Amino acid sequence: MLVVAIVIDVAYWSIWFTHRSWIESDTSQAYVEFENAFPLADAWLGLTCVLALMALNRRSPTALLWLIAAGSAGMYLFGMDVLYDLENGIYTEGAGGIIEAAINLITLAFSVTALRWAWARRDALLSGAAV
């Protein structure tokens, strides 16, 4: 799950900066400015996923911290994106709206899964046991 999140994050921003027309839901200046505000937050999400993977592989108790950080970062990004999309009718923009909805659903599913999985296994994660 963490590797998939990292791959999607890197792929999305690689496409955004090289072939934006493939994934943009709108071409307005406001939309582009809004999307351009996300790379740093998405980089944080990616970093928390990498750190969670490293901690899980080492069976470090910090895995719980990084999983919660990743899930929380994803929930925040989900909330920001969905609110903008709803307020600006992005979901009704044809194929771009469908792509945006899919990204939002994937972000929500990842975030909830990371938070639930980590919390349900918090004792094992904190003790360094295999999970």
Tokens of 55: 């901690």
Give the pLDDT score at 26.
87
Phi, psi of 78, deg, nearest 5:
-60, -50
Give the pLDDT score at 43.
97
Rounded average pLDDT per 10-residue block, the chain, 131 residues: 94 94 90 95 98 98 98 98 96 90 97 98 95 88
Give the pLDDT score at 93.
86
End-to-end CA distance of the chain: give it in Å, rounded. Answer: 14
**Gap between the Cα atoms of 60 and 45, Å rounded:** 19
Question: Which pTM does this prediction carry?
Answer: 0.92
Give the pLDDT score at 130.
87
Give the pLDDT score at 92.
93
Give the pLDDT score at 111.
98
